[in-house]
Structure 1
């Protein structure tokens, strides 16, 4: 797939941006902090429903504005769909598909598929388990958009259970474990059942995903760092006692029973800590190099290689699903040595559409070339804003070695009819 156009209005540092693209590589060049990454982030937002840099939506809106708009025309397997996401401060976001409003922004998932590799990916190896869980869930949702609703419902259940546990904890600390305590926990069993049901489905989806991803990660890592130890990944549920095997993890009915038993056995702990301690929101994606965990044992180069291997494996897995995601490479070549640069450039050369950011063109390997767009910052104080350098404007990029004009798609074609081409919610 590829984007035919991208339009931003009041998105971060961009008051307005309107670009057209064709297949191939587009390189955004400019100094740090001038807005290059914001363009890649906007594409990621359409693909996954969230930023790869921040957890909330407020930073995505330009200072002094109440909302931002991201619009793209996506070409995929001979059909074209226009998607629009309106990000609103303090209010629910709105979305349109082919100019028609949809009930939820989640209905846009699956129209745009992308894989991003960015400096933030070092946290996949070095950071907390939450980042690795999010990596799995984002990839799972791109493959099966319906999982987004499942995850949202699970999060609601966790919040409700945690509120009940906090009430019970407060009642117990007040020294009245009778009516107040019992009342706080009166309805929690209903939420226990729902958490186990939804949690088992999430665990099964994640475990199945990891089983497919593991050999691809091993292969990708070996290609990037052939002198290093073998890389492996595994899904590890946070359970007391022996962990279930892969076949059991992928069985929702089995895992539902396991979670219910775990919840019953940890009720006192949950009340004492006023937290929901059981469920996939506490599980781990284990990353290993040889016999050691990558976190804490991987060198700086090995950490970069493992993070890159996770993204390359994601790309190959989506391709195995007959998808051709956009590859987004955000300021990464300057951080890689010559061998890793060459390996990543070779992979990028085989992708239908690639967006790259770099501070200077010299950061890019010779094998990676394409249309060049210069990004710069203009204005002072609150009026500072990103813009395309004069000569690159109106969606026409200067050549960086291959294409005469990377945004050579011409006039935007009409979007296909939404009724005929709306994305299927189940897959």
Structure 2
């Protein structure tokens, strides 16, 4: 699968941009602040309905415009499709596939798959648990686009449950009667909804980690021979088992935490609180791994993601956003050799010398709002 044409309207710094893309390697080169990352960010948005740089859509719309449009022609085998996303901050986004307007934005998920390498990846190892949960959930959705609906359901139920808990906490602080049969029965219903969606999300995460761990260990060995092994350990208050068993365990954990949740006014149990422990040897990578080891671990997670998607028949577009400038020469060359065979590889760099020689292919210069092929 590869993107053959990218068209932007009022996206980030671009009033208009038209970029033809070929299979193989394409490098976007130019000084910082000229819009290189904006191009690959748009491709990534098609794959995840989100940006790797910001948490909301508003910054993606060019200043002075009220919406942005990302349009891409995508080829997979003999099949060609046109995907369009309209970003409307403060309003519902819109989507079209092959000119049809009768689709939801999440219906485009799975039509473009990407694996993104970026300087922000270091947060996978050194950052907060939310970074690692996001990594897992985006990869889950890439494997199974229907999980976007499950994630949305979980977030919706979590928000409703937190609202109820917050009201209960405020009433308790003000001396009102809390814990009536009506209050408890309402919370019981939300517990069931949260446990149901949470069990599905948790099952998918556990399955993903089991598939990803050996691939991450292999990728780390290729990047830093003799430096491993690496291990991925999921941290949550419930064990494994079937979805039905996970549901019962989550429901029980919610019941045990209820009094504390009412006191604090927030949901304390569920996939939104879990973490992925990354281990290098016998020690947690966070706090113990060197800067170079942390980079190798982050890169290994991305390479493992790529290998997993390829093994499942969905070779993604590889995006390397200004990552080579962050790496020493040894890691730069090894990473380049590993990604070079990809069906489509998009690279951004401030200077041409940052792009390893093995990644030869099409090249664009990005400057003054113009994207020019050279």
**Same fold per TM (> 0.5)?**
yes
Deviations 1:73-112 (A, max 9, x none): 0001220110000001211100000010133100000111
**Secondary structure in 2 matching 1:315:** helix
Contact map agreement 2:168 2:178 (CA 8 A) in 1: no
**Secondary structure in 2 matching 1:341:** helix
Q: 1:306 to 1:89 in 2, by over 3 A?
A: same
The equivalences for 1:157-306 within 5 A come to 157-178=157-178, 184-237=183-236, 239=237, 244-245=239-240, 248=241, 251-306=242-297
Contact map agreement 1:262 1:278 (CA 8 A) in 2: yes
Q: TM-score, normalised by structure 1?
A: 0.86
**Secondary structure in 2 matching 1:317:** helix
Match of 2:12 in 1: 12
Instruction: Give the Cα–Cα distance (whole angstroms) in 1 for the partners of residues 322 and 21 of structure 2.
Output: 20
The answer to whether the aligner puts 1:387 opposite 2:370 as a matched pair is yes
CA drift at 1:182: 5.9
Deviations 1:158-212 (A, max 9, x none): 0000000001001100012358x66544411111011111101110000000000
Q: Which runs of 5+ in 2 are unaligned?
A: none
Q: CA RMSD in A?
A: 1.2
**Secondary structure in 2 matching 1:135:** helix
Deviations 1:231-287 (A, max 9, x none): 1112221x1xxx525xx2xx1111111011111111111011111111111111110
Contact map agreement 1:167 1:184 (CA 8 A) in 2: no
Instruction: Give the Cα–Cα distance (whole angstroms) in 2 for the partners of residues 310 and 74 of structure 1.
Output: 26
Q: TM-score, normalised by structure 2?
A: 0.98
Match of 2:87 in 1: 87
Contact map agreement 1:61 1:68 (CA 8 A) in 2: yes
Match of 1:423 in 2: none
Match of 1:417 in 2: none
Instruction: Give the Cα–Cα distance (whole angstroms) in 1 for the partners of residues 22 and 296 of structure 2.
Output: 30
Instruction: Give the Cα–Cα distance (whole angstroms) in 1 for the partners of residues 45 and 182 of structure 2.
Output: 42
Q: Which runs of 5+ in 1 are unaligned?
A: 378-385, 399-427
Number of residue pairs matched by the alignment: 374
Instruction: Give the Cα–Cα distance (whole angstroms) in 2 for the partners of residues 136 and 257 of structure 1.
Output: 23
CA drift at 1:224: 0.5
Instruction: Give the Cα–Cα distance (whole angstroms) in 2 for the partners of residues 344 and 17 of structure 1.
Output: 30
Match of 1:419 in 2: none
CA drift at 1:7: 0.2
**Secondary structure in 1 matching 2:91:** coil
Contact map agreement 1:232 1:287 (CA 8 A) in 2: yes
Deviations 1:265-312 (A, max 9, x none): 111110111111111111111101111111111111011101100000
Structure 1 runs of 4+ off > 6 angstroms?
none
**Secondary structure in 2 matching 1:102:** strand
Instruction: Give the Cα–Cα distance (whole angstroms) in 1 for the partners of residues 264 and 151 of structure 2.
Output: 24
Match of 1:156 in 2: 156
